[in-house]
Amino acid sequence: MILSQQLLTLARYLVGEFDNREQALADPAWYVHLRLWHRRVPLFEEDSVTIFAEQANIVQLDKPYRQRILRLTEGQNAHAPLKAQYYMPKNPSALLGAGCNPDLLNTLTPDQLELLPSCVLDVSQETLVSDSYKFAATPPINTLCSFTYGGSNIQVSLGFESTQDKFMSFDKGIDPITGKATWGAILGPYRYTKREQY
């Protein structure tokens, strides 16, 4: 299957090393200074681009967390022609540090991932200027990412926006009882700047 130019552009925008230094300096009470890695993974290449994501507090780069897999595919919606499907590594600790050490991803196989069926985003594209775009990824209406991890029911409100050199994460952890956000982009998105293109 030939991947669309739209999908390949989104993948290129997403892949790289990012941080939110300016935001963390401007508002340290609400935004931790984070480094974020997005690495391409050689999985599902017949019809998609797959990306490994990991982040770390800038003062604890040796303790990365939130390992996740994002699979970008063509969508079925004319208003959102691309789709982003999330997977969870069955053994996240085996991938610990793969943001800095991508060789850890070379042995990753589909059976080591757990599909998170409700953790999916519709992705739309807006042209900013010639050959420059903004992608916006939002969940389908009335859909909340929900899965079980460590015996607990986890709920996450997902979303992101991406341009050539910026990435905004709207991800928030949701308390399943109160429905209130408990971590993440509670006061607005984390605003990352791309520092290195992979």
Which helix (DSSP H) or strand (DSSP E) does residue 169 occupy?
strand 166-169
pLDDT tens per residue, range 76-87:
877 789 999 999
pTM score:
0.93
* CATH level 2 (architecture), domain 5-197: Beta Barrel (2.40)
2 band by pLDDT with thresholds 50, 70 and 90 = confident
pLDDT at 144: 86
pLDDT tens per residue, range 75-131:
887 778 999 999 999 999 999 999 999 999 999 999 999 999 999 999 999 999 888
Sheet of 145-149: strand order equals 145-149, 152-157, 172-174, 181-184
What's the token pair of residue 43? 């999985």
pLDDT at 95: 95
CA distance 49 to 43: 8
pLDDT at 123: 97
